[in-house]
Structure 1
Amino acid sequence: MNQPVKESDMTVTWHRDESHLPPALRGLRIPLIGAPLFIISVPDLVIAQCKAGIIGSFPALNAREGEGEPPLLEAWLKRITEELDRHNQENPDRPAAPFAVNQIVHRSNARLQRDIDICVKWKVPVWITSLGARPEVNEAAHSVGGVVLHDIINNTFARKAIEKGADGLIAVAAGAGGHAGQQSPFALVREIRSWFDGPLALSGAIASGEALLAARAVGADFGYMGSPFIATREANAVEDYKRMIVESGAEDIVYSSLFTGVHGNYLKKSIERAGLDPDNLPESDPSSMNFSSGSSKPKAWKEIWGSGQGIGDVRDVVPATELIDRIDREYRAAGARLAAEFRGA
């Protein structure tokens, strides 16, 4: 259970050594990245996250225009860029954090090159790449000063990503929402840190300030948080999905490859509502993945909803700023409690 947060804990200050980080990743209010959520992450959420001081992100494939219409991704990047610029001009002492765009580099993503070109045009500051490390994508990001973070589920993939030009890594460990790995976050981060001292984020049940502090303690530079943002006002999720997040816990998460061909975590109740037995799901394989329509999940399963194991800490649907405020308070309070153990040592 979370300990009460004392007023004195909320005013604790600290110094983070950010000298090893690219400038775009420095100076965040708290070391947190809002993970790109399929369908759910839209400009309203990203802008709220960035204004609140953390990196907000969205998958490029979320911006889907109708046939014959101009690229919606361009309109989204224009709006996000202009709103954050306006915020920074009006709040020079409290600038917004940078935003990130997630590129699915799987071979079935027919939009990839078009979306890369648009991101280059708008000089996206942070690029998150998934499902394959592609040197040409990294080169495109670097051509406009962008920083590339590649998500991986094991140390082998981590090495390949850095060898192919990624600047940093997102370690997707056990308990993460969406396409999650199976390795303990403690094991995965420590193996990566044995050879890599660059930017590293940790994904896997990061839903509280205490969890964020644990990620930092084990060696990550950032927490990577997705599922709690589903239950925010700005999230593009139906109310049933948001309420299911609030009402569920770790025991309500099912790990399966059936729906996309790659193992991921899903809400048990949504699987049951689709008429399936969550305890007896058949396996699928990566050959079934296809992002040509924007998602690798067949339309028949569009209401089977992803979630990580940390949602026991999500107790209500709130504005994104309120969620970030909570994480900030908990992070500071947890840090102060642990720091007290070492005073005078």
Structure 2
Amino acid sequence: MTKQPAKLETRFTEQVGIEVPLICGAMYPCSNLELIAAASEAGGIGIIQPISLMFVHGHDLREGIREIRKLTDKPIGFNALVEQSSQVYEDRMKKWVDIAIEEGVRFFITALGSPDWVVKKVHAVGGVVYHDVTTLKWAKRAIEGGVDGLICVNKRAGGHAGEESPQKLLADLKALGVPLICAGGIGDEAQFIEALEMGYDGVQMGTRFIATTECSAHIDYKHAILEAEADDIVLTEKISGIPVAVIQTEYVKKVGTHASWLAKKLLQHPKGKHYMRGYYTLKSLWQLKSASTKGMNYKDYFQAGKSVDGITKIESVADIVSRFADAVRAKAPVSAEAEDDVEADATTE
């Protein structure tokens, strides 16, 4: 695949109105409002994860958005999980999306279902919708639903990872003609530049932003990320019934990574799968919240992706975004006009 010059101005930055093509991905349970605001204020864009904001961090959604607005007036985004297995949940998500729109949010990332109703609401106010995808099949369905861009979740991502490499996903999806965001495996500026040179319009990071001063995750969680290597990231079915990328702690080794035969059986049953998904959802909400807030004393799961290889210290969001942006600028080719100016200066001297 031919590389192209990395640049900060892409189709994505133009659509969303930001300076750096970098998304601080929505994370349950790690997306606290200070982290979201810091990512946007630094020039990228932070994404609200509503359940994290309300259930983990204790904010009313509308008031939480207003608190973020006190910290930054730059664009912020909203994560809408549009799975339709529960009518109660779907109705709540529609209410949450309405609140976000009313509070001025104009960038939405959808996942796990049909984005069409979100697209309709958001496009009506001039907003933009991207959708999480892992394969060409789901990407085509999202395009049919009217989305403006795609979050390409690859096999190096944390949480619910994809199955394809970043290169394969890009090759499969680039003909769709919409902006593509690389999600998974980006932990340092060299990997950021590589994704942009490959042809992606931006990058979404999650794990890198957990190990920051603004993220409220327990210090044990952050240190686990600093100490882990890519080979320490394993897929477990114990959290949600489908593979989730986590750090292989002693607890994970002890309990194993495979769902029980009964759980697998129920997940394949037309009616049983809804009950199992509900059970896993409630179980994971408590487990992940406890691990994030209580640390290693609560022997549970730390979600993370293979980007841990590039993460060596806890630092501020502003420093990360600035360093990544500066690395791209430093690598940008010098224009012919600029070269002429340099030669003229040298002659004058």
Greater gyration radius: 2
Tell me, yes or no, if structure 1 residue 99 matches structure 2 residue 76.
yes
Q: Tell me the CA shift for residue 328 of structure 1.
A: 2.6
Check whether the contact 1:32–1:54 (CA below 8 A) recurs between aligned residues: yes
CA distance in 2: counterparts of 1:16 and 1:336, whole angstroms? 9
Structure 1 letter corresponding to 2:165: S
Structure 1 letter corresponding to 2:321: I
Change (3 A) 1:257 1:16: same
Tell me, yes or no, if structure 1 residue 62 matches structure 2 residue 49.
no
Change (3 A) 1:24 1:78: farther
Change (3 A) 1:338 1:155: farther
Q: Tell me the CA shift for residue 22 of structure 1.
A: 7.6
CA distance in 1: counterparts of 2:14 and 2:332, whole angstroms? 27
Structure 1 letter corresponding to 2:65: L
Q: Tell me the CA shift for residue 26 of structure 1.
A: 4.1
Tell me, yes or no, if structure 1 residue 175 matches structure 2 residue 156.
yes
Structure 2 letter corresponding to 1:79: E
Matching residue of 1:277:
256
Q: Tell me the CA shift for residue 197 of structure 1.
A: 1.9
Matching residue of 1:75:
63
Matches within 5 A, 1:1-16: none
Matching residue of 1:84:
72
CA distance in 2: counterparts of 1:271 and 1:220, whole angstroms? 37
Change (3 A) 1:264 1:300: closer
Q: Tell me the CA shift for residue 314 of structure 1.
A: 1.0
Q: Tell me the CA shift for residue 193 of structure 1.
A: 0.5
Task: Give runs of ≥4 in structure 1 deviating > 6 Å.
Answer: none
CA distance in 1: counterparts of 2:131 and 2:220, whole angstroms? 31
Matches within 5 A, 1:1-345: 18=10, 20-21=11-12, 23-28=14-19, 30-64=20-54, 72-85=60-73, 96=74, 98-107=75-84, 108=86, 109-110=89-90, 111-194=92-175, 196-269=176-249, 271-272=251-252, 275-277=254-256, 284=264, 285=267, 287=273, 288-290=276-278, 297=284, 299-300=286-287, 302=290, 303-333=300-330, 335=331
Gap runs ≥5 in structure 1: 1-12, 86-95
SS of match in other structure, 1:171: strand
Deviation sequence 1:4-40 (CA, Å, 0-9, x none) = xxxxxxxxx986564x558442441x32111111121
Structure 1 letter corresponding to 2:38: A
Check whether the contact 2:150–2:179 (CA below 8 A) recurs between aligned residues: yes
Matching residue of 1:9:
none
Indicate the RMSD between aligned Cα atoms, in angstroms. Answer: 2.9
CA distance in 2: counterparts of 1:270 and 1:122, whole angstroms? 43
Structure 1 letter corresponding to 2:317: A
More helix by share: 2
SS of match in other structure, 2:192: helix
Q: How many residues align?
A: 307
Structure 1 letter corresponding to 2:213: R
Check whether the contact 1:133–1:150 (CA below 8 A) recurs between aligned residues: no
Q: Tell me the CA shift for residue 47 of structure 1.
A: 1.0
Check whether the contact 2:157–2:305 (CA below 8 A) recurs between aligned residues: yes
Structure 1 letter corresponding to 2:77: A
TM-score, reference length from structure 2: 0.79
Deviation sequence 1:181-218 (CA, Å, 0-9, x none) = 01011011111002x22221011101111111121122
SS of match in other structure, 1:189: helix
SS of match in other structure, 1:64: helix
SS of match in other structure, 1:290: helix
CA distance in 1: counterparts of 2:252 and 2:245, whole angstroms? 14
Check whether the contact 2:186–2:310 (CA below 8 A) recurs between aligned residues: no
CA distance in 1: counterparts of 2:333 and 2:235, whole angstroms? 34
| Identical-residue share of aligned pairs (%) | 27
Check whether the contact 1:24–1:125 (CA below 8 A) recurs between aligned residues: no
Q: Tell me the CA shift for residue 297 of structure 1.
A: 1.6
Check whether the contact 1:172–1:203 (CA below 8 A) recurs between aligned residues: yes
Matching residue of 1:89:
none
Check whether the contact 1:59–1:102 (CA below 8 A) recurs between aligned residues: yes
